[in-house]
Amino acid sequence: MLIDMHAHTKGISRCCRIDAPEMLQAAREAGLDGVVLTNHYQKNYVGDGDPKEFAAAYVAEYQHAAQMGADMGLLVFWGIEVTMAKHHNAHVLIYGVREDFVLRYPTVYDLALGELKDLVDREGGVLIQAHPLRYDKNDLLDTRYLTGVEISCHPLYDATYLDELSAVARQTGLVLTCGGDYHADTRRPRCGMYLPDDVKDSAAIGAYLRSATEVRLLVDEINDEPPFEVVYTR
Protein backbone atom coordinates (compact mmCIF):
# COMPACT_ATOMS: atom_id res chain seq x y z
CA MET A 1 0.00 0.00 0.00
CA LEU A 2 1.23 3.47 -0.91
CA ILE A 3 1.40 5.81 2.09
CA ASP A 4 2.52 9.44 2.08
CA MET A 5 4.71 9.59 5.17
CA HIS A 6 4.41 13.36 5.72
CA ALA A 7 1.05 15.16 5.68
CA HIS A 8 -0.49 18.24 7.33
CA THR A 9 -3.85 19.81 8.16
CA LYS A 10 -4.47 23.45 8.99
CA GLY A 11 -6.26 22.56 12.23
CA ILE A 12 -2.76 22.41 13.75
CA SER A 13 -0.22 23.29 11.07
CA ARG A 14 -0.82 26.99 10.51
CA CYS A 15 1.18 27.01 7.28
CA CYS A 16 -1.19 24.44 5.75
CA ARG A 17 -4.11 25.79 3.74
CA ILE A 18 -6.59 22.92 3.99
CA ASP A 19 -8.50 20.99 6.62
CA ALA A 20 -8.61 17.22 6.97
CA PRO A 21 -11.42 16.58 4.43
CA GLU A 22 -9.61 18.43 1.64
CA MET A 23 -6.26 16.89 2.55
CA LEU A 24 -7.73 13.40 2.40
CA GLN A 25 -9.59 14.05 -0.84
CA ALA A 26 -6.36 15.28 -2.44
CA ALA A 27 -4.58 12.14 -1.24
CA ARG A 28 -7.28 9.93 -2.70
CA GLU A 29 -7.20 11.77 -6.02
CA ALA A 30 -3.43 11.23 -6.10
CA GLY A 31 -3.96 7.48 -5.86
CA LEU A 32 -2.67 7.07 -2.32
CA ASP A 33 -3.88 4.42 0.09
CA GLY A 34 -3.30 6.69 3.07
CA VAL A 35 -1.12 9.20 4.84
CA VAL A 36 0.77 9.65 8.06
CA LEU A 37 -0.51 12.85 9.66
CA THR A 38 2.61 14.62 10.91
CA ASN A 39 1.41 18.06 11.91
CA HIS A 40 3.92 20.58 13.19
CA TYR A 41 4.72 20.28 16.89
CA GLN A 42 6.65 23.40 17.76
CA LYS A 43 7.21 25.82 20.59
CA ASN A 44 6.00 28.94 18.83
CA TYR A 45 2.57 27.37 18.36
CA VAL A 46 2.29 27.20 22.14
CA GLY A 47 3.66 30.66 22.88
CA ASP A 48 2.60 31.71 26.37
CA GLY A 49 -0.14 29.10 26.42
CA ASP A 50 -0.35 25.74 28.13
CA PRO A 51 1.71 23.03 26.37
CA LYS A 52 -0.70 20.39 27.65
CA GLU A 53 -3.63 22.13 25.99
CA PHE A 54 -1.75 22.28 22.71
CA ALA A 55 -0.85 18.59 23.02
CA ALA A 56 -4.51 17.72 23.60
CA ALA A 57 -5.57 19.72 20.54
CA TYR A 58 -2.84 18.03 18.52
CA VAL A 59 -4.14 14.56 19.39
CA ALA A 60 -7.75 15.60 18.79
CA GLU A 61 -6.87 16.83 15.29
CA TYR A 62 -5.32 13.46 14.47
CA GLN A 63 -8.34 11.57 15.80
CA HIS A 64 -10.65 13.78 13.74
CA ALA A 65 -8.64 13.12 10.57
CA ALA A 66 -8.38 9.40 11.29
CA GLN A 67 -12.16 9.11 11.63
CA MET A 68 -12.69 11.04 8.42
CA GLY A 69 -10.19 8.78 6.70
CA ALA A 70 -12.01 5.70 7.92
CA ASP A 71 -15.27 7.09 6.56
CA MET A 72 -13.59 7.67 3.17
CA GLY A 73 -11.71 4.38 3.06
CA LEU A 74 -8.29 6.00 3.52
CA LEU A 75 -5.73 5.05 6.15
CA VAL A 76 -4.54 7.83 8.46
CA PHE A 77 -1.59 6.92 10.67
CA TRP A 78 -0.30 8.85 13.68
CA GLY A 79 2.96 10.75 13.44
CA ILE A 80 4.63 13.92 14.72
CA GLU A 81 6.86 16.54 13.12
CA VAL A 82 8.86 18.19 15.89
CA THR A 83 10.67 21.49 15.40
CA MET A 84 13.92 21.20 17.35
CA ALA A 85 14.45 24.54 19.10
CA LYS A 86 17.99 23.58 20.13
CA HIS A 87 19.01 22.56 16.61
CA HIS A 88 18.29 25.66 14.49
CA ASN A 89 14.64 24.60 14.24
CA ALA A 90 15.46 21.45 12.30
CA HIS A 91 12.46 19.19 11.77
CA VAL A 92 12.33 15.54 12.78
CA LEU A 93 9.53 13.08 12.12
CA ILE A 94 8.54 10.64 14.85
CA TYR A 95 6.86 7.36 13.94
CA GLY A 96 5.95 4.41 16.12
CA VAL A 97 5.00 6.10 19.38
CA ARG A 98 1.52 6.10 20.88
CA GLU A 99 -0.94 8.97 20.52
CA ASP A 100 -0.49 9.93 24.16
CA PHE A 101 3.24 10.57 23.62
CA VAL A 102 2.72 14.34 23.37
CA LEU A 103 0.29 14.29 26.29
CA ARG A 104 2.96 12.75 28.50
CA TYR A 105 5.84 14.76 27.04
CA PRO A 106 4.23 18.03 25.90
CA THR A 107 7.48 20.00 25.60
CA VAL A 108 9.50 17.59 23.46
CA TYR A 109 10.46 20.52 21.22
CA ASP A 110 12.79 21.70 24.01
CA LEU A 111 14.88 18.51 24.02
CA ALA A 112 18.29 18.13 22.44
CA LEU A 113 18.44 15.58 19.64
CA GLY A 114 20.18 12.95 21.76
CA GLU A 115 17.61 13.39 24.52
CA LEU A 116 14.75 13.05 22.06
CA LYS A 117 16.33 9.96 20.53
CA ASP A 118 16.62 8.31 23.96
CA LEU A 119 13.00 9.15 24.76
CA VAL A 120 11.66 7.95 21.43
CA ASP A 121 13.69 4.74 21.72
CA ARG A 122 12.16 4.04 25.13
CA GLU A 123 8.71 4.61 23.66
CA GLY A 124 9.32 2.21 20.78
CA GLY A 125 9.52 4.83 18.06
CA VAL A 126 11.96 6.03 15.42
CA LEU A 127 13.36 9.41 14.36
CA ILE A 128 13.55 10.46 10.71
CA GLN A 129 14.96 13.82 9.68
CA ALA A 130 12.45 15.73 7.57
CA HIS A 131 13.56 17.29 4.27
CA PRO A 132 17.32 17.51 4.96
CA LEU A 133 19.52 19.60 2.62
CA ARG A 134 16.58 21.63 1.34
CA TYR A 135 17.82 24.95 -0.03
CA ASP A 136 21.24 24.05 1.37
CA LYS A 137 20.12 25.29 4.78
CA ASN A 138 18.45 22.24 6.32
CA ASP A 139 21.72 20.75 7.50
CA LEU A 140 21.91 17.03 8.05
CA LEU A 141 21.64 16.26 11.75
CA ASP A 142 23.98 13.86 13.54
CA THR A 143 23.07 10.55 11.94
CA ARG A 144 23.94 8.64 15.12
CA TYR A 145 20.62 9.83 16.49
CA LEU A 146 18.50 9.06 13.43
CA THR A 147 16.83 5.96 12.06
CA GLY A 148 16.50 7.50 8.63
CA VAL A 149 16.18 10.52 6.38
CA GLU A 150 13.26 11.68 4.28
CA ILE A 151 13.10 12.15 0.54
CA SER A 152 10.82 15.20 0.41
CA CYS A 153 8.76 15.70 -2.74
CA HIS A 154 7.32 19.10 -1.85
CA PRO A 155 7.22 20.89 -5.25
CA LEU A 156 7.83 24.31 -3.71
CA TYR A 157 11.45 23.56 -2.91
CA ASP A 158 14.58 23.08 -4.95
CA ALA A 159 15.09 19.29 -5.14
CA THR A 160 14.41 15.96 -3.45
CA TYR A 161 18.16 15.34 -3.02
CA LEU A 162 17.48 11.68 -3.75
CA ASP A 163 21.00 10.83 -4.90
CA GLU A 164 22.77 12.70 -2.11
CA LEU A 165 20.55 11.33 0.66
CA SER A 166 20.67 7.78 -0.71
CA ALA A 167 24.46 7.94 -0.52
CA VAL A 168 24.38 9.27 3.04
CA ALA A 169 21.89 6.63 4.09
CA ARG A 170 23.96 3.79 2.66
CA GLN A 171 27.11 5.07 4.34
CA THR A 172 25.42 5.34 7.72
CA GLY A 173 22.95 2.45 7.64
CA LEU A 174 19.88 4.67 7.66
CA VAL A 175 16.53 3.94 6.06
CA LEU A 176 14.89 6.22 3.49
CA THR A 177 11.29 7.39 3.70
CA CYS A 178 9.33 9.57 1.28
CA GLY A 179 6.64 12.18 1.79
CA GLY A 180 4.93 15.04 0.04
CA ASP A 181 4.85 17.55 2.92
CA TYR A 182 1.69 18.78 1.21
CA HIS A 183 0.37 22.16 2.41
CA ALA A 184 -1.97 22.92 -0.54
CA ASP A 185 0.32 25.74 -1.65
CA THR A 186 1.44 23.68 -4.68
CA ARG A 187 0.19 20.79 -6.78
CA ARG A 188 -0.38 17.59 -4.81
CA PRO A 189 2.67 15.34 -5.38
CA ARG A 190 2.04 11.65 -5.93
CA CYS A 191 4.63 10.11 -3.70
CA GLY A 192 5.19 8.00 -0.63
CA MET A 193 6.43 4.74 0.72
CA TYR A 194 5.08 1.29 -0.06
CA LEU A 195 4.29 -0.33 3.28
CA PRO A 196 3.32 -3.98 3.78
CA ASP A 197 -0.42 -4.56 3.94
CA ASP A 198 -0.11 -5.93 7.48
CA VAL A 199 1.08 -2.56 8.80
CA LYS A 200 -2.01 -1.46 10.70
CA ASP A 201 -0.84 1.28 13.07
CA SER A 202 1.99 3.63 13.94
CA ALA A 203 3.73 1.05 16.10
CA ALA A 204 3.93 -1.27 13.10
CA ILE A 205 5.34 1.57 10.97
CA GLY A 206 8.05 2.14 13.56
CA ALA A 207 8.90 -1.55 13.66
CA TYR A 208 9.04 -1.71 9.87
CA LEU A 209 11.36 1.30 9.58
CA ARG A 210 13.70 -0.15 12.19
CA SER A 211 13.97 -3.57 10.60
CA ALA A 212 13.48 -3.20 6.84
CA THR A 213 16.63 -3.81 4.84
CA GLU A 214 14.94 -2.93 1.54
CA VAL A 215 12.22 -0.33 0.98
CA ARG A 216 10.28 0.81 -2.07
CA LEU A 217 9.46 4.47 -2.59
CA LEU A 218 7.48 6.46 -5.13
CA VAL A 219 9.36 9.69 -5.77
CA ASP A 220 7.81 12.73 -7.43
CA GLU A 221 10.55 15.14 -8.47
CA ILE A 222 9.86 18.85 -8.61
CA ASN A 223 10.43 19.02 -12.39
CA ASP A 224 6.93 17.75 -13.26
CA GLU A 225 8.26 14.50 -14.73
CA PRO A 226 6.14 11.42 -13.93
CA PRO A 227 6.71 9.87 -10.49
CA PHE A 228 9.11 6.93 -10.45
CA GLU A 229 9.79 4.04 -8.13
CA VAL A 230 13.00 3.67 -6.16
CA VAL A 231 14.14 0.51 -4.40
CA TYR A 232 16.64 1.32 -1.67
CA THR A 233 18.71 -1.29 0.16
CA ARG A 234 20.68 -0.45 3.26
DSSP letters spanning 154-210:
-TTSS---HHHHHHHHHHHT-EEEEE--B-SSS-----EEE--TT--SHHHHHHHHH
- Is 5 in a helix, a strand, or coil? strand
pLDDT at 206: 99
Residues 114-158 have pLDDT tens digits of: 999 999 999 999 999 999 998 665 689 999 999 999 999 999 888
What percentage of the chain carries pLDDT values higher than 90? 93
Q: Per CATH, the architecture of 2-233 is what?
A: Alpha-Beta Barrel (3.20)
Distance in angstroms (rounded) separating the CA atoms of residues 184 and 45: 20
pLDDT at 138: 63
Note whether 82 and 91 are within 8 A (CB): yes
pLDDT at 223: 80
Note whether 87 and 201 are within 8 A (CB): no
- Closest C-alpha among 127, 130, 128, 104 to residue 117: 127
pLDDT at 222: 82
pLDDT at 137: 56
CA angle (166 as vertex; 161, 167 as ends), nearest 5:
105
- Closest C-alpha among 195, 191, 194, 189 to residue 219: 191
pLDDT at 105: 99
Give domain limits for the chain. Answer: 2-233
Note whether 24 and 34 are within 8 A (CB): no
CA angle (192 as vertex; 166, 31 as ends), nearest 5:
150
Low-confidence ranges of the chain (pLDDT < 50): none
Q: How far is CA 173 from the centre of its chain?
A: 19
Q: Is the pTM of this model over 0.85?
A: yes
| End-to-end C-alpha distance for the chain, whole angstroms | 21
